[in-house]
Amino acid sequence: MSLVVVLFAAFIIVPILELAVIIQVGSSVGVFPTLALLVLVSVAGAWLVRHQGTGVLTRIRQQLSVGELPTDELVNGVLILVAGTLMLTPGFLSDAVGLSLLIPPIRAVIRRWLGRRFTRRVIWDIEEI
């Protein structure tokens, strides 16, 4: 996927979808409950990110103290950081994606996918040399 397509989706399509969902929810439950829900989800998301991020830092320190390379935990930390960014971004779709990244089994699947993709990319680059 080209960078232009990704940037177009990130800056044009996603905000339009977020606004459409917010308008739908707002028309169903009202403006103030919608705003309250957005704030509540952001606060809850920040708490969850802090809680899980602290756990990841603890596990990284433990692995480093015994001489292990904490690769899985570093990837978990990045995914939790992305989740936190999405949770603090106003919108229900970004909150849903952010919340899903805070679920350890989903994070594990994404971590394995990223590992395979990275490995394939490295092997492909080595073969070109």
pLDDT of the residue at 3: 79
- Structure-block tokens of residue 58: 């603890």
- Structure-block tokens of residue 15: 């905000």
pLDDT digits (tens, 9 = 90+) for 57-114: 999 999 999 999 998 999 999 999 999 999 988 899 999 999 999 999 999 999 999 9
pLDDT band at 120 (very low <50, low <70, confident <90, very high): confident
pLDDT at 27 over 70: yes
- Say what the pTM is: 0.82
Q: Which residue has the tokens 């395979």?
A: 116
Q: Are 93 and 16 in contact (CB under 8 A)?
A: no
User: CB neighbours of 11 closer than 8 A, spacing ≥ 6?
Assistant: none
- Lowest mean per-residue pLDDT among 37-41, 91-95, 123-127: 123-127
Higher pLDDT, 34 or 123: 34
